Structure 1
Amino acid sequence: MSKSRLTELLPLNLPLPLDLECWREALLRTLPPPITGELTLFAGVPLKVIISFDQTGADVLLPMQESAMSSVSRHKPVPQGRVELAGGSLEQLQRLVNDTIAMRIKSFRECACCGRRVPQELLGSLNGAPACRQCLQGRRFLL
């Protein structure tokens, strides 16, 4: 059976080197729940950090989305840094992850209706003030 050009282009889903698997397991114990994914970890609700593992290291990404007013939400993660297996450490990775989570939480805004702090992408506008999706739900808008 011959391989197609498409299967040659697809990355192999190889197991991580032992040290990287240890890093991944350590992060699974410390990241905010829920955590989904295997080689790419998505942590928190709302999403607070993305960590993507490959054979040589881990990339940490800051999740960003378009506004709640957009009909289609598009994730646009912003790279925050990479820790290489060669020369890097779990402590460096944890520091980068914690800094990214702190940056994400700092970007949250307060809903003028209920006072909760929510990500920018979950805010709309009600009478010119920022309002979360829960506060906007069920409201009628006249255009």
Structure 2
Amino acid sequence: MTNTLNQPGLNSLSKSFEPAALEAHWGPEWEKRGYGVAGSRGTGEPSAEAAARGDNFCIQLPPPNVTGTLHMGHAFNQTIMDSLTRMHRMKGFNTAWIPGTDHAGIATQIVVERQLQAQGISRHDMGTTPFEAR
């Protein structure tokens, strides 16, 4: 990996993003400052104002659907939600961004049912537990 952390002007870049070095460099500092603590404004402690107001901001989002190919729109959407959550955290809100939660799994269910149909099986033939295991 080309070290671009300490190069003025970034004379060269790695061909791909390699987060391990950045995480090793910045992770301990971010943890020390409490950047992951909801409502902390980087102090590691929830702000008194946010706690008193009860200001909360939460985004729950499903993982990308299995029905298609991932594209730049998926990354753009994630970036917007990340930015909104960080902005609210800087304003003192108690924030939570919970990626990868899908309360229904409908898109996944449809894909699995189509795979079963190609094998001549229905989810009703299988029963709930074996179907969920697929």
Q: Which has the higher helix share?
A: 2
Higher relative contact order (CA 8 A, sep 6+): 2
Structure number with greater Rg is: 2
Higher strand share: 1
TM over 0.5: no
